[in-house]
Structure formats: structure tokens, C-alpha cells
Amino acid sequence: MNERAGSAGQSGGARPSRQINVVLRSHEPYVSTGAAPTLEPEPPVAVKPQTPGDPYLEISKELDAMVGLDNVKLLIYEIYALLQVSRMRTEAGLASGSHVYHMIFKGNPGTGKTTIARIVAKLFNKMGVLSKGHLIEVERADLVGEYIGHTAQKTRDLVRKAIGGVLFVDEAYSLARGGEKDFGKEAIDTLVKAMEDNRNQFVLILAGYPLEIEQFLMTNPGLPSRFPIQIEFPDYSIDQLIQIAELMAKEREYTLMPQALFKLRQHLMAEKMETLYSFSNARYVRNIIEKGFRHQAVRLLHQYPSASPGKQELMAIRPEDLRWDARS
């Protein structure tokens, strides 16, 4: 289990740098399709410029730093807009309604689900929906126990820890894999009860591979209606993976040299084709880049045994630094 706190600091600053031009049908704002929705004769949903102190400002900076995911970014903006308008409606003496924010994240490994869950937790905290805005990330082994009653206890303890934040259950479908007699069923029942008992006190996000999550929801007919927000995280294209690699390098003040980028692109094309659904997208790229930093360090120590190689060389990731054999 991982606990990852989402910071709750306020930000000031300028207008947002981007505008989302995806068009959604107004009657289906909560289900993202992953692909750009088909066009309707409606004006595009545009992100309103934020004023300093606007809670969305910091969130939008974090979202902008992520490559692609336009459908996800749009949905998060819609949630923000709904929360803002609910607040205004309350102030105007109108019914603001009680909304349910439990979510399903469908996507292959490394498509950004956990990162977005953390941003969602922060948004809800800044908007006053969640008191803490932290993320408790769990998987089957954290929830399921070894004897009767153990599972319910373990699950309840984790829900308690998640109060005020988000409980993120990765590979949620594995809870249903053993059928009726499995303790996973007890974990699901306990989670459902906790959603009723602790209304609006935590947000539950179930995440996993698209097909398996679909099957999971089908075998639990009571579940889908409890998760009104479903988001698809598409696999990244090769161009997006390259952009992500460049971003990861830039964040650490490294530069991927053109030949290194070419080598990486060739490798990603082959790897993606070979591994298909098990390809771990941005996580795979992160691993290669981080190994690249280590290989570069060893190379530089050998090439420049007695002096600093200089700033440019310290930054340059060359093709020989990017390796993907078992040893690398």
C-alpha cells in the first residue's frame, strides 16, 4: 500500500496556457470515451481563464505538464466547473444537489491513472469536497485477508485511512477473480457498505485494464451505478511516448540527443508491437530514461576520469546510454 499525499497549497498566478477544444454532448458530461467524441453542432467547451487564487490554477498547471489525455483533462475541468457552480447555486439559495464522485479508471499500465487520481484528490481538496486530499493506493493484497472477518477488518481500516481523501484500488477486477467464495467478494461488499456509511467523506476510484474492469462491472450489477464517472485512459502513441521521454529528461535537466531519440523511437515501436496489452506505456519510458541517467553517469566517469565533462556533456543522453537488455 502506498500513501501519497496531495498538497493542498494555494497558488496565485497568470491565465491558463491552454484551451480545450474537445466538444462533448451536454447530456453526457461524465463518461469519457477515450477517443475525441463525435462532433455536434455545439460550441466547444473552453477552459475559462483563471484569476489568481483560483483553485483550478495549480491543477491546470499539473494537467498541462501531462502529454495527451485531452479527454481526462476535459473531464477534470467539468468536475471543477460543477463544483464552482454548485457553490454559486448554494450562495444564490438554489438546490445544489448532492453529487457522487466515485470513479472508474480504465486503462492499460502506465497510462497515467495514478497520477490523475492524485490530481483529482488535490482538486477535491482545494474545492472543499475532501478535507485532506491525500491518496491511499491499494491492491488486492492490501484489502483481502486470510480468514473470515479479516478482509472486512483490513478493508475498513484502509477506508478509515482514506477518509478525507481518495482510496485508489488498482487492478480492482482481481477482487472478483475467485468468485462468490473468495474473500475478494467480502472486500467488495465492505467497500460498497463504506460508500454508503461514509457518504461524501472519501472518493473511491477503481482502476484496471479496460476489458477486465468491464467484466468486473458486469459480474457485479449493483456496482456501475455507484460509479457515475468513468474515464478511459488510452494507450499513448509513439509520438506521445517520445514527448513523455523528452519531458522526463527535461525535468531533470538532461537532453535526449537526436540519435538517442531515434534509437528510442525504433525500440518503442518494436516493443509496443511485441508486448501489446502488457506494454506499460509511460512507466516503460520512465524506466528506460532512469536507467539512461545511470548509464550516462558510468560512461562519463570512464570518459572523463579526472575532470568534469562540462555542462553540455553532463546533460547529454546519447544513444549508447539507452539500453534495454536484461542487464541494463
Ligand X SMILES: Nc1ncnc2c1ncn2[C@@H]1O[C@H](COP(=O)(O)OP(=O)(O)OP(=O)(O)O)[C@@H](O)[C@H]1O
Cβ 168 to ligand X shortest distance, Å: 9
Cβ closest to ligand X, residue 83 vs residue 264:
264
Cβ closest to ligand X, residue 196 vs residue 253:
253
Cβ closest to ligand X, residue 235 vs residue 321:
235
Cβ closest to ligand X, residue 86 vs residue 111:
111
Cβ closest to ligand X, residue 114 vs residue 190:
114
Integer Cα distance of 245 and 288 in angstroms: 9
Q: Are 151 and 187 in contact, with CB atoms under 8 Å apart?
A: yes
150-162 and 183-197 are packed helices; what angle lies between their axes, rounded to 10 degrees? 40
CB-based burial label for 295 (10 Å; 0-12, 13-18, 19+): middle
Integer Cα distance of 34 and 29 in angstroms: 13
**End-to-end C-alpha distance for the chain, whole angstroms:** 28
Cβ 283 to ligand X shortest distance, Å: 4
Residues that bind ligand X (CB under 6 A): 66-69, 107, 109-115, 170, 244, 247, 280, 282-283, 286
Cβ 111 to ligand X shortest distance, Å: 4
Integer Cα distance of 23 and 35 in angstroms: 11
Integer Cα distance of 236 and 280 in angstroms: 10
Cβ 235 to ligand X shortest distance, Å: 10
Cβ 89 to ligand X shortest distance, Å: 33
Cβ 203 to ligand X shortest distance, Å: 16
Residue 255: count other Cβ atoms within 10 Å of its Cβ. 15
Cβ closest to ligand X, residue 112 vs residue 133:
112
Residue 201: count other Cβ atoms within 10 Å of its Cβ. 16
Integer Cα distance of 1 and 158 in angstroms: 9
117 vs 6, 82, 101, 293, CA distance in Å?
A: 10, 18, 12, 28
Which residues make Cβ contacts (< 8 Å) with residue 315, sequence separation at least 6?
A: 253, 254, 255
Cβ 233 to ligand X shortest distance, Å: 6
Cβ closest to ligand X, residue 83 vs residue 203:
203
